[in-house]
Chains A and B, each alone.
Chain A
């Protein structure tokens, strides 16, 4: 790999002054050839760019990766273009000098395929080994695990001596040892296996398997299989942890969707089929908030939480006052009427926002994953949602147990007439309770907007699950909802790998049906006089 040394030199800036004007002109020519449609030619040109010692190489490669390199249809000049309000502002790739503003139809993008993308990423990874940012260096080393060559081995061997970060050094050690697995000396190979036996990187596993199958030396084979057994048993532990995490995160989504229902259905006894649509309204609120503050995506989601609570809460109160109040004590009619309301809400959203899904962007701090090791990585969005779910739950429990509103809600739900006789305004309490339950549904919508599509049908897919969780947990019991949500989530994720997603859902439903036969009041039935009513 000749270009590696070249890039090294480029980095150190030794050759900058040596570049002649003739070179620049030919580099310009190379760039203009990017207009070719043949991807194999394009690959060659990219290689030329990588091999060139041009100081703008990194910028050009990154721009191509980001899809910001275009050419003018008229004269086939290759340039950098950035979209600003339906127009493309262009500048030169070589020296940033502005080249005018064009409409979309005048330009054509320099497209690349996966092969080229990989090539560029590989080239950039070598550059990034020298990056000032520790996490970039770490990623660069990890990206190279599968592609350690003699040259890279030498470079990493040099770099490891000056590397300050321990994480990066560890990764470099793994890279070096992966290379040594193919050393001609069996002792070195055994040594490398010894050094790698604590690593959970998938690359290590495949390389060890290769050794077991192909190595000429029996000792190496033995050592490799021992290491593999050890790695495998550790992998299994982490896999189980992963499943539990998946289950907990799935469970927290269920809890978020169900907890509003646990209040309106559980505490008030109202079957609200429009509950899912209140969740959907919360998700759309997130979208609207994001539209209003497009340059603050990172905090817009925090603004959306109270906004969604208010929007869904108000709509909930409207439904309660307009429909449910008049159907007090007639559950069948309430069910049908609220189902009708849910259809009305869906079609309203469809008319306002079109039936197409809306894109809610994830803030930077919620994307990606927390990598514990090569096997276990926890995605940030799921982690935050588990956390969020627990916070919402705690807040609700506090409201119901520690505030006067909570006291009145409990009083009304246990014995309406007695509560009224004691001076509780039961109508007002109904409004507040329903508003609270609906508002919480809206908050769930904010969380769901980060996981799934924001579209008119969002609510429908969660209404069944919500009822399932509440009924299984025991109507009227918030703690029951929490435990049944996590329980069902984790059971589901343990069944899924061997039964498939469809069957897992079926099995869970069968389990709940059987369970309800045995204990009709769920996991934690409400006790006391109200239980009879």
Chain B
């Protein structure tokens, strides 16, 4: 068995190194950077992802590490402060000399680290669903692109539930705005009239939902089946659902399908008024699969809490981490450009029983699942795509991006190649 061989090798190296100086010892580990906020607004979501990476690192080390070396996680706290993300990323790469970084949640934090990662040519894994319209040489997007979450969810509502009127409600920042732009274009292409679409934006952390819920109620009482597509982010969701419950709007009247509400968000919440509302993700904790049961067992024992839940971005990190390990083993080195080349086409099992692959546009293939919230804070899967969907970096429904493709293989090597003008315009963010 290979792992045992590796362990003995490491033991040998370690004992040798112990006799020498400390720097040599640290040179024998591969460093993995973790760039998730542990304080501030985003700590609520990102702390879990830091723990996920720590668990995966520990697990990999038990299997003998990578390339015969142990992994060492370097954790920093960018404190939900977007410019600090860039600073901390630079520190990780230049000072701590990490070979890969797993991090970020919000799009704005990703946009903040992007120039640094590209300048220093590192490898960065981003685990959260996002608005697309980006493909960097150095970033691997393991969360869902809009065509892996928003569009299938709308299809489900339209075809299976028969929804005719749409409320697109979101928090006022880049992800909801772009997603709603795509969805509006998509709905119109499907023949939905302008008067049947209501778009609404609210500030971060909005807590007074009375007027908006009342508007949704009257918008939905026109006799046509109505649904809310929610890109409301983070904390604002809880008062929103509470208000829906208080104004007696149940999921069978006006279902809400959310793209940012997962098991983790529901765990701090009285789920009574939410039962039956929907969420679209690529993974739910309730997925029936061997890998998932194993992952949950590992997670629960790592964190030491029977009641801790797993969620979609955790799965994204699981996939991303394993892909990186495979790519490093394939390349035989942690050198970033070698890893960037090697990782395209790498496949690893995801947690829903399938096998995900890294596409040439640095997005991955994933199934799309729709779940209904249950009283225990879990989701029951009511619909799923028949196969895996490949992430599309550039939406086909936006005029600015429908001619763009991304392919980081030879000979194209371009993140935004325009098929009409046959030009690569370079990254623009």
Contact = CB atoms under 8 A, between A and B. Distances in A.
Bound pair (A, B):
yes
Contacts of A379: 210, 243, 246-247
A114 B252 contact: yes
A25 B422 CA distance: 71
Interface in A428-469: 451-453, 455-457, 461
Given A357-B268, A500-B200, A453 B211 contact: no
Interface in A107-134: 109, 111-114, 117-118, 121
A370 to B, nearest CB: 11
A245 to B, nearest CB: 8
A175 B239 CA distance: 33
A227 to B, nearest CB: 16
B210 A493 contact: yes
B247 A377 contact: yes
Interface residues of B, number: 52
A486 interface: no
B203 to A, nearest CB: 5
B223 interface: yes
Nearest to A457: B41
A115 B205 CA distance: 32
Contacts of B251: 114, 117
Contacts of A250: 208, 210
Nearest to B271: A359
Interface in B151-183: 161, 172
Given A461-B205, A502-B172, A453 B210 contact: no
A249 interface: yes
A13 B185 CA distance: 57
Contact of A113 (B211, B247, B372, B376): B372
Interface in B195-233: 200-203, 205-208, 210-212, 214-215, 218, 221-223
A100 interface: no
Interface string A343-361: 0000100100011111101
Given A206-B221, A250-B208, A497-B215, A451 B239 contact: yes
B375 A377 contact: no
B244 to A, nearest CB: 11
A448 B267 CA distance: 20
B99 interface: no
B279 interface: no
Interface in A241-299: 242-243, 246, 249-250, 253
B374 interface: yes
Contacts of B44: 355-357, 455
A350 B374 contact: no
Interface string A317-357: 00000000000000000000000000000010010001111
A101 to B, nearest CB: 16
A113 B210 contact: no
B363 to A, nearest CB: 29
Contact of B382 (A39, A66, A381): A39
B252 A350 contact: no
B242 interface: yes
B380 interface: yes
Nearest to A354: B47
Contact of B238 (A67, A253, A357, A377): A357
A205 interface: yes
Interface in B10-57: 38-39, 41, 43-44, 47
Which of B47, B208, B210, B221 has the largest count of A CB atoms less than 10 A from its CB? B208
Contact of B211 (A209, A243, A356, A362): A243
Interface string A491-502: 001001100111
A202 interface: yes
A56 to B, nearest CB: 21
A209 B222 CA distance: 9
Contact of A493 (B206, B211, B246): B211
Interface in B94-139: none
Given A39-B382, A250-B208, A367-B246, A121 B47 contact: no
Contacts of A496: 211-212
A113 B380 contact: yes
B276 A114 contact: yes
Contact of A501 (B201, B214, B238, B252): B201
Given A67-B374, A250-B210, A493-B210, A502 B270 contact: no
Of all A-B residue pairs in the complex, the 9 with the closest CB atoms, nearest first, are A111-B380, A206-B223, A202-B221, A355-B43, A357-B268, A452-B207, A379-B246, A246-B210, A67-B375
5 contacts: A39-B382, A66-B375, A361-B270, A493-B211, A502-B202
Interface of A: 39, 66-67, 83, 86, 109, 111-114, 117-118, 121, 202, 205-207, 209-210, 242-243, 246, 249-250, 253, 347, 350, 354-359, 361-362, 367-369, 377, 379-382, 451-453, 455-457, 461, 493, 496-497, 500-502, 505
Interface of B: 38-39, 41, 43-44, 47, 161, 172, 200-203, 205-208, 210-212, 214-215, 218, 221-223, 235, 238-239, 242-243, 245-248, 251-252, 255, 264, 267-270, 275-276, 306, 372, 374-376, 378, 380, 382
Given A242-B214, A246-B211, 15 more contacts: A67-B275, A114-B255, A202-B221, A206-B223, A209-B223, A246-B214, A250-B210, A355-B43, A355-B47, A357-B235, A357-B269, A379-B243, A381-B246, A457-B235, A501-B200
